[in-house]
Amino acid sequence: MAELVVNGVSYALDEDGFLEDASVWNEDVAKALAPNEEVEELTDAHWKVINYLRDYYDQFGVSPMVRKLLKDTGYTNATIYELFPTGPGKGACKIAGLPKPTGCV
Protein backbone atom coordinates (compact mmCIF):
# COMPACT_ATOMS: atom_id res chain seq x y z
CA MET A 1 0.00 0.00 0.00
CA ALA A 2 1.31 3.40 -0.95
CA GLU A 3 1.20 6.47 1.22
CA LEU A 4 1.24 10.21 0.84
CA VAL A 5 2.99 12.34 3.45
CA VAL A 6 1.71 15.91 3.85
CA ASN A 7 2.93 18.20 6.61
CA GLY A 8 4.38 15.20 8.44
CA VAL A 9 1.13 13.20 8.36
CA SER A 10 0.90 9.93 6.41
CA TYR A 11 -2.21 9.15 4.36
CA ALA A 12 -2.85 5.64 3.03
CA LEU A 13 -3.44 5.37 -0.72
CA ASP A 14 -4.84 2.44 -2.68
CA GLU A 15 -2.97 0.88 -5.61
CA ASP A 16 -4.36 3.59 -7.94
CA GLY A 17 -3.37 6.50 -5.70
CA PHE A 18 -6.83 7.22 -4.25
CA LEU A 19 -7.12 7.95 -0.53
CA GLU A 20 -8.12 4.87 1.44
CA ASP A 21 -10.20 7.00 3.83
CA ALA A 22 -12.08 9.98 2.35
CA SER A 23 -12.71 11.39 5.83
CA VAL A 24 -9.03 12.28 6.35
CA TRP A 25 -8.92 14.53 3.26
CA ASN A 26 -8.09 18.22 3.58
CA GLU A 27 -7.04 21.01 1.22
CA ASP A 28 -3.34 20.33 1.77
CA VAL A 29 -3.87 16.71 0.70
CA ALA A 30 -5.67 17.96 -2.43
CA LYS A 31 -2.74 20.25 -3.25
CA ALA A 32 -0.31 17.35 -2.78
CA LEU A 33 -2.33 15.02 -5.02
CA ALA A 34 -2.93 17.57 -7.79
CA PRO A 35 0.50 17.44 -9.53
CA ASN A 36 0.14 13.67 -9.96
CA GLU A 37 -3.02 14.39 -11.96
CA GLU A 38 -1.36 17.00 -14.20
CA VAL A 39 -2.82 19.92 -12.22
CA GLU A 40 -0.11 22.38 -11.25
CA GLU A 41 -2.27 24.85 -9.32
CA LEU A 42 -5.78 24.53 -7.90
CA THR A 43 -7.81 27.55 -9.03
CA ASP A 44 -11.28 28.65 -7.96
CA ALA A 45 -12.67 26.63 -10.88
CA HIS A 46 -10.93 23.50 -9.57
CA TRP A 47 -12.23 24.11 -6.06
CA LYS A 48 -15.78 24.52 -7.40
CA VAL A 49 -15.59 21.00 -8.83
CA ILE A 50 -13.74 19.53 -5.83
CA ASN A 51 -16.20 21.01 -3.31
CA TYR A 52 -19.16 19.86 -5.43
CA LEU A 53 -17.76 16.31 -5.54
CA ARG A 54 -17.13 16.24 -1.79
CA ASP A 55 -20.59 17.62 -0.99
CA TYR A 56 -22.26 15.12 -3.32
CA TYR A 57 -20.26 12.24 -1.82
CA ASP A 58 -21.09 13.36 1.72
CA GLN A 59 -24.78 13.46 0.84
CA PHE A 60 -25.12 10.28 -1.26
CA GLY A 61 -22.08 8.14 -0.43
CA VAL A 62 -21.02 7.87 -4.10
CA SER A 63 -19.43 10.09 -6.71
CA PRO A 64 -21.86 11.73 -9.12
CA MET A 65 -22.27 10.63 -12.72
CA VAL A 66 -20.36 12.91 -15.07
CA ARG A 67 -23.61 14.24 -16.57
CA LYS A 68 -24.78 15.28 -13.09
CA LEU A 69 -21.43 16.95 -12.39
CA LEU A 70 -21.66 18.91 -15.65
CA LYS A 71 -25.26 19.96 -15.10
CA ASP A 72 -24.77 21.06 -11.50
CA THR A 73 -21.47 22.90 -12.01
CA GLY A 74 -22.39 24.42 -15.37
CA TYR A 75 -19.08 23.27 -16.85
CA THR A 76 -18.77 21.47 -20.16
CA ASN A 77 -17.02 18.14 -20.54
CA ALA A 78 -14.19 19.98 -22.34
CA THR A 79 -13.81 22.39 -19.41
CA ILE A 80 -13.64 19.53 -16.91
CA TYR A 81 -10.87 17.92 -18.97
CA GLU A 82 -9.04 21.27 -19.18
CA LEU A 83 -9.21 21.54 -15.39
CA PHE A 84 -8.50 17.85 -14.73
CA PRO A 85 -6.55 16.40 -17.70
CA THR A 86 -6.77 12.86 -16.30
CA GLY A 87 -10.57 13.14 -16.22
CA PRO A 88 -13.44 13.74 -13.83
CA GLY A 89 -13.32 10.24 -12.35
CA LYS A 90 -9.64 9.61 -12.06
CA GLY A 91 -8.31 13.14 -11.59
CA ALA A 92 -11.06 15.21 -10.00
CA CYS A 93 -12.29 12.48 -7.65
CA LYS A 94 -8.75 11.57 -6.64
CA ILE A 95 -7.84 15.18 -5.81
CA ALA A 96 -11.16 15.53 -3.95
CA GLY A 97 -10.12 12.58 -1.79
CA LEU A 98 -12.98 10.33 -2.88
CA PRO A 99 -12.77 6.59 -3.50
CA LYS A 100 -12.20 5.44 -7.06
CA PRO A 101 -15.59 5.77 -8.83
CA THR A 102 -17.28 2.60 -10.01
CA GLY A 103 -16.47 2.00 -13.66
CA CYS A 104 -13.41 4.25 -13.54
CA VAL A 105 -10.60 2.73 -15.58
> Catalytic amino acids?
104
Q: Are strands 9-13 and 2-6 parallel, antiparallel or unpaired?
A: antiparallel
User: Coil, strand or helix: which one is 10?
Assistant: strand
